A and B are shown apart, each in its own frame.
Chain A
Amino acid sequence: MAKRKSLIKIKPKSYKDGEVVKVSFMVMHPMETGLRKDKKTKELIPAEYIKKVVFEYKGKVITTMNVWETLSVNPVFTTYMKIDGAGELKVIFTDSKGEVQETVAKIKPKG
Protein backbone atom coordinates (compact mmCIF):
# COMPACT_ATOMS: atom_id res chain seq x y z
CA MET A 1 0.00 0.00 0.00
CA ALA A 2 1.10 3.46 -0.72
CA LYS A 3 2.85 5.22 2.07
CA ARG A 4 0.65 7.52 4.09
CA LYS A 5 1.74 11.12 4.45
CA SER A 6 3.10 11.68 7.91
CA LEU A 7 5.09 14.32 9.74
CA ILE A 8 6.92 14.78 13.02
CA LYS A 9 7.02 18.34 14.33
CA ILE A 10 9.22 19.48 17.20
CA LYS A 11 8.68 22.75 19.02
CA PRO A 12 10.74 24.86 19.51
CA LYS A 13 12.75 24.23 16.34
CA SER A 14 16.14 24.67 18.00
CA TYR A 15 16.72 23.12 21.40
CA LYS A 16 19.48 22.24 23.80
CA ASP A 17 20.44 19.03 25.55
CA GLY A 18 18.22 18.36 28.53
CA GLU A 19 15.40 20.58 27.28
CA VAL A 20 11.82 19.33 27.31
CA VAL A 21 10.23 19.85 23.89
CA LYS A 22 6.79 19.35 22.39
CA VAL A 23 6.57 16.57 19.80
CA SER A 24 3.64 16.25 17.40
CA PHE A 25 3.04 13.36 15.07
CA MET A 26 0.55 13.85 12.27
CA VAL A 27 -0.61 11.25 9.76
CA MET A 28 -3.10 11.28 6.91
CA HIS A 29 -5.41 8.42 7.82
CA PRO A 30 -9.17 7.97 7.17
CA MET A 31 -9.94 6.58 10.70
CA GLU A 32 -13.11 4.82 9.52
CA THR A 33 -15.34 3.70 12.39
CA GLY A 34 -17.19 1.03 10.42
CA LEU A 35 -20.47 2.81 11.12
CA ARG A 36 -20.53 5.17 8.17
CA LYS A 37 -22.44 4.31 4.98
CA ASP A 38 -21.30 4.94 1.45
CA LYS A 39 -23.70 7.56 0.07
CA LYS A 40 -23.92 5.92 -3.39
CA THR A 41 -23.98 2.19 -2.67
CA LYS A 42 -25.61 2.49 0.81
CA GLU A 43 -23.18 -0.11 2.10
CA LEU A 44 -21.21 0.21 5.31
CA ILE A 45 -17.61 1.31 4.87
CA PRO A 46 -15.39 -1.21 6.70
CA ALA A 47 -13.55 -0.02 9.79
CA GLU A 48 -9.99 1.16 9.29
CA TYR A 49 -8.23 2.98 12.09
CA ILE A 50 -4.89 3.38 13.81
CA LYS A 51 -4.49 0.98 16.74
CA LYS A 52 -1.10 1.76 18.13
CA VAL A 53 1.47 4.54 17.98
CA VAL A 54 4.94 4.04 19.43
CA PHE A 55 7.53 6.79 19.96
CA GLU A 56 11.09 5.47 19.93
CA TYR A 57 14.03 7.73 20.77
CA LYS A 58 17.57 6.42 20.32
CA GLY A 59 16.25 2.86 20.12
CA LYS A 60 14.33 3.12 23.39
CA VAL A 61 10.54 3.22 23.59
CA ILE A 62 9.50 6.38 25.43
CA THR A 63 5.76 6.54 24.74
CA THR A 64 3.17 3.99 23.64
CA MET A 65 -0.33 5.02 22.64
CA ASN A 66 -3.29 2.67 22.26
CA VAL A 67 -5.78 4.26 19.92
CA TRP A 68 -9.39 3.51 19.05
CA GLU A 69 -11.54 4.56 16.10
CA THR A 70 -13.03 7.46 18.05
CA LEU A 71 -10.16 9.78 17.10
CA SER A 72 -10.66 12.25 14.28
CA VAL A 73 -9.69 11.83 10.64
CA ASN A 74 -5.99 12.62 10.04
CA PRO A 75 -5.14 12.40 13.72
CA VAL A 76 -2.51 14.39 15.58
CA PHE A 77 -0.69 13.02 18.62
CA THR A 78 1.13 15.56 20.74
CA THR A 79 3.23 14.92 23.80
CA TYR A 80 6.48 16.08 25.38
CA MET A 81 9.91 14.52 25.44
CA LYS A 82 13.24 15.25 27.04
CA ILE A 83 16.18 15.81 24.69
CA ASP A 84 19.05 13.53 25.65
CA GLY A 85 21.73 13.78 22.98
CA ALA A 86 21.65 13.44 19.19
CA GLY A 87 19.83 10.49 17.71
CA GLU A 88 16.78 9.35 15.80
CA LEU A 89 13.18 9.73 16.88
CA LYS A 90 11.06 7.05 15.27
CA VAL A 91 7.28 7.05 15.33
CA ILE A 92 5.76 3.74 14.32
CA PHE A 93 2.02 3.27 13.86
CA THR A 94 -0.01 0.11 13.29
CA ASP A 95 -3.55 0.21 11.95
CA SER A 96 -6.47 -2.22 12.16
CA LYS A 97 -5.64 -3.68 8.74
CA GLY A 98 -2.15 -4.58 9.88
CA GLU A 99 -0.42 -1.77 8.06
CA VAL A 100 2.78 -0.64 9.79
CA GLN A 101 4.62 2.54 8.94
CA GLU A 102 7.63 4.27 10.37
CA THR A 103 8.41 7.99 10.35
CA VAL A 104 11.86 9.19 11.35
CA ALA A 105 13.05 12.58 12.57
CA LYS A 106 16.62 13.46 13.44
CA ILE A 107 17.24 15.00 16.84
CA LYS A 108 20.16 17.44 16.81
CA PRO A 109 20.51 19.45 20.02
CA LYS A 110 22.52 22.67 19.82
CA GLY A 111 25.08 23.25 22.52
Chain B
Amino acid sequence: MQRRDFLRNLGVGAAGAVILPSVSFAADAPKPKGSNVLSYKDALKAVTGGKTAEVSAKVNLKVPEIAENGAVVPVTVEIDYPMTDSNYVKAIHVLTEKNANSRCIDVHLSPANGKAMLATRVKLGETQEIVAIAELSNGTFLMASQSVKVTIGGCG
Protein backbone atom coordinates (compact mmCIF):
# COMPACT_ATOMS: atom_id res chain seq x y z
CA MET B 1 0.00 0.00 0.00
CA GLN B 2 2.80 2.32 0.88
CA ARG B 3 4.50 1.70 -2.42
CA ARG B 4 1.27 2.43 -4.27
CA ASP B 5 0.88 5.71 -2.42
CA PHE B 6 4.46 6.51 -3.17
CA LEU B 7 3.96 5.96 -6.90
CA ARG B 8 0.79 8.04 -6.89
CA ASN B 9 2.58 10.87 -5.16
CA LEU B 10 5.33 10.56 -7.71
CA GLY B 11 2.80 11.09 -10.51
CA VAL B 12 1.22 14.11 -8.79
CA GLY B 13 4.52 15.61 -7.85
CA ALA B 14 6.12 14.97 -11.23
CA ALA B 15 5.91 18.65 -12.14
CA GLY B 16 7.65 19.55 -8.91
CA ALA B 17 10.29 16.96 -9.50
CA VAL B 18 11.29 18.65 -12.73
CA ILE B 19 12.07 21.87 -10.94
CA LEU B 20 13.68 20.29 -7.90
CA PRO B 21 16.99 18.57 -8.42
CA SER B 22 16.66 14.80 -8.22
CA VAL B 23 15.71 14.23 -4.61
CA SER B 24 16.83 10.87 -3.31
CA PHE B 25 13.59 8.99 -3.86
CA ALA B 26 15.35 5.68 -3.52
CA ALA B 27 16.03 6.35 0.13
CA ASP B 28 12.35 7.07 0.80
CA ALA B 29 11.07 4.00 -1.02
CA PRO B 30 9.74 1.64 1.64
CA LYS B 31 10.91 -1.94 1.90
CA PRO B 32 8.41 -4.64 0.88
CA LYS B 33 6.30 -5.55 3.87
CA GLY B 34 4.03 -8.42 4.78
CA SER B 35 0.36 -8.33 5.62
CA ASN B 36 1.05 -7.61 9.28
CA VAL B 37 3.22 -4.57 9.75
CA LEU B 38 3.66 -3.35 13.28
CA SER B 39 6.51 -1.24 14.55
CA TYR B 40 8.07 -1.89 17.94
CA LYS B 41 6.58 1.30 19.39
CA ASP B 42 3.05 0.40 18.30
CA ALA B 43 3.46 -3.17 19.49
CA LEU B 44 4.63 -1.99 22.89
CA LYS B 45 1.62 0.28 23.14
CA ALA B 46 -0.71 -2.56 22.15
CA VAL B 47 0.78 -4.79 24.84
CA THR B 48 1.00 -2.43 27.78
CA GLY B 49 -1.81 -0.06 26.86
CA GLY B 50 0.38 2.99 27.38
CA LYS B 51 1.70 1.90 30.78
CA THR B 52 5.42 1.80 31.33
CA ALA B 53 7.02 -1.58 31.75
CA GLU B 54 9.59 -1.73 34.50
CA VAL B 55 12.91 -3.43 33.79
CA SER B 56 13.16 -6.27 36.26
CA ALA B 57 15.56 -9.07 37.11
CA LYS B 58 12.53 -11.26 37.81
CA VAL B 59 12.07 -11.70 34.08
CA ASN B 60 14.69 -14.17 33.01
CA LEU B 61 15.14 -13.97 29.24
CA LYS B 62 17.45 -16.52 27.68
CA VAL B 63 18.51 -15.99 24.07
CA PRO B 64 21.79 -16.77 22.30
CA GLU B 65 24.19 -13.83 22.02
CA ILE B 66 25.08 -14.77 18.46
CA ALA B 67 22.60 -16.55 16.23
CA GLU B 68 24.21 -18.01 13.13
CA ASN B 69 20.86 -18.62 11.50
CA GLY B 70 18.22 -15.94 12.02
CA ALA B 71 15.46 -18.32 10.93
CA VAL B 72 15.67 -20.32 14.14
CA VAL B 73 16.50 -18.41 17.31
CA PRO B 74 15.53 -20.17 20.55
CA VAL B 75 13.91 -17.90 23.13
CA THR B 76 13.16 -18.89 26.72
CA VAL B 77 11.36 -16.60 29.16
CA GLU B 78 11.01 -17.58 32.79
CA ILE B 79 9.36 -15.37 35.37
CA ASP B 80 10.30 -15.65 39.00
CA TYR B 81 6.84 -15.00 40.40
CA PRO B 82 4.37 -17.13 42.37
CA MET B 83 1.40 -18.66 40.56
CA THR B 84 -1.35 -18.61 43.17
CA ASP B 85 -5.04 -18.05 42.50
CA SER B 86 -4.95 -14.39 43.45
CA ASN B 87 -1.44 -13.47 42.43
CA TYR B 88 0.00 -14.77 39.21
CA VAL B 89 1.57 -13.93 35.87
CA LYS B 90 -1.26 -13.17 33.49
CA ALA B 91 0.66 -13.09 30.25
CA ILE B 92 4.10 -13.22 28.67
CA HIS B 93 4.69 -11.22 25.48
CA VAL B 94 7.71 -11.57 23.21
CA LEU B 95 8.55 -8.65 20.91
CA THR B 96 11.39 -7.91 18.53
CA GLU B 97 12.75 -4.48 17.81
CA LYS B 98 13.31 -4.44 14.06
CA ASN B 99 11.23 -7.20 12.45
CA ALA B 100 8.53 -5.99 10.03
CA ASN B 101 5.98 -7.35 12.47
CA SER B 102 7.31 -6.68 15.92
CA ARG B 103 5.08 -9.13 17.77
CA CYS B 104 6.08 -12.76 18.06
CA ILE B 105 3.92 -14.46 20.63
CA ASP B 106 1.57 -13.67 23.52
CA VAL B 107 0.99 -16.35 26.10
CA HIS B 108 -1.99 -15.95 28.40
CA LEU B 109 -1.40 -18.05 31.47
CA SER B 110 -3.58 -19.12 34.37
CA PRO B 111 -2.77 -20.38 37.89
CA ALA B 112 -3.25 -23.92 36.50
CA ASN B 113 0.11 -23.56 34.78
CA GLY B 114 1.98 -23.75 38.08
CA LYS B 115 5.01 -21.94 36.73
CA ALA B 116 5.35 -18.95 34.39
CA MET B 117 7.59 -20.05 31.56
CA LEU B 118 7.59 -19.97 27.78
CA ALA B 119 10.03 -21.45 25.31
CA THR B 120 9.77 -21.15 21.54
CA ARG B 121 11.81 -20.30 18.45
CA VAL B 122 11.57 -17.05 16.51
CA LYS B 123 12.77 -15.65 13.18
CA LEU B 124 14.99 -12.55 13.19
CA GLY B 125 15.64 -10.47 10.10
CA GLU B 126 18.73 -8.71 11.41
CA THR B 127 20.76 -8.03 14.54
CA GLN B 128 18.35 -6.60 17.09
CA GLU B 129 16.95 -6.72 20.59
CA ILE B 130 14.43 -9.26 21.82
CA VAL B 131 12.09 -7.93 24.48
CA ALA B 132 10.07 -10.04 26.91
CA ILE B 133 7.22 -8.41 28.82
CA ALA B 134 5.41 -10.05 31.71
CA GLU B 135 1.94 -8.89 32.64
CA LEU B 136 1.08 -9.55 36.29
CA SER B 137 -2.40 -10.08 37.69
CA ASN B 138 -2.17 -6.80 39.62
CA GLY B 139 -1.85 -4.87 36.35
CA THR B 140 1.86 -4.09 36.40
CA PHE B 141 4.31 -4.89 33.65
CA LEU B 142 7.85 -6.18 33.99
CA MET B 143 10.29 -6.42 31.12
CA ALA B 144 13.71 -7.64 30.10
CA SER B 145 15.59 -7.29 26.84
CA GLN B 146 18.69 -8.70 25.26
CA SER B 147 20.35 -8.13 21.91
CA VAL B 148 21.02 -10.97 19.50
CA LYS B 149 23.63 -10.76 16.78
CA VAL B 150 22.34 -12.36 13.61
CA THR B 151 24.81 -13.58 10.99
CA ILE B 152 22.27 -14.64 8.34
CA GLY B 153 18.82 -13.05 8.41
CA GLY B 154 15.83 -15.33 8.55
CA CYS B 155 12.96 -13.15 7.31
CA GLY B 156 11.79 -12.64 3.75
Binding site for B on A (CB under 8 A): 20, 22, 24, 31, 33-36, 47, 57, 60-73, 75-82, 84
Alpha-carbon separation in the docked complex, A73 to B71 (Å): 8
Alpha-carbon separation in the docked complex, A10 to B154 (Å): 29
Known contacts: A20-B114, A71-B104, A71-B120. The answer to whether A79 contacts B109 by CB under 8 A is yes
Interface of A is mostly: strand
B156 proximal to A (CB < 8 A): yes
Cross-chain contact B105 with A71 (CB below 8 angstroms) = yes
Cross-chain contact B120 with A77 (CB below 8 angstroms) = yes
Which of B106, B116, B120, B155 is in CB contact (< 8 Å) with A76? B120
14 CB-based A-B contacts, threshold 8 Å: A20-B115, A34-B35, A35-B155, A62-B109, A65-B105, A65-B108, A66-B108, A67-B104, A68-B104, A69-B36, A72-B71, A73-B72, A75-B120, A79-B117
Interface residues on B, range: 35 or more
Residue of A nearest to B43 (CB): A68
Set of chain A residues within 8 Å of B112, measured between Cβ atoms: 57, 60, 62, 81-82, 84
Known contacts: A33-B155, A70-B96, A84-B112. The answer to whether A63 contacts B35 by CB under 8 A is no
Q: Mark B111-136, 1 if CB is under 8 A from A, else 0.
A: 01111111111110000000000000
Cross-chain contact B108 with A63 (CB below 8 angstroms) = yes
Interface residues of B in 79-123 (CB under 8 A from A): 96, 99-101, 103-110, 112-123
Known contacts: A80-B113, A82-B112. The answer to whether A69 contacts B34 by CB under 8 A is yes
Alpha-carbon separation in the docked complex, A61 to B122 (Å): 25
Cross-chain contact A71 with B121 (CB below 8 angstroms) = yes
Set of chain B residues within 8 Å of A81, measured between Cβ atoms: 112-114
B73 proximal to A (CB < 8 A): yes
Which of B33, B110, B123 is in CB contact (< 8 Å) with A70? B123
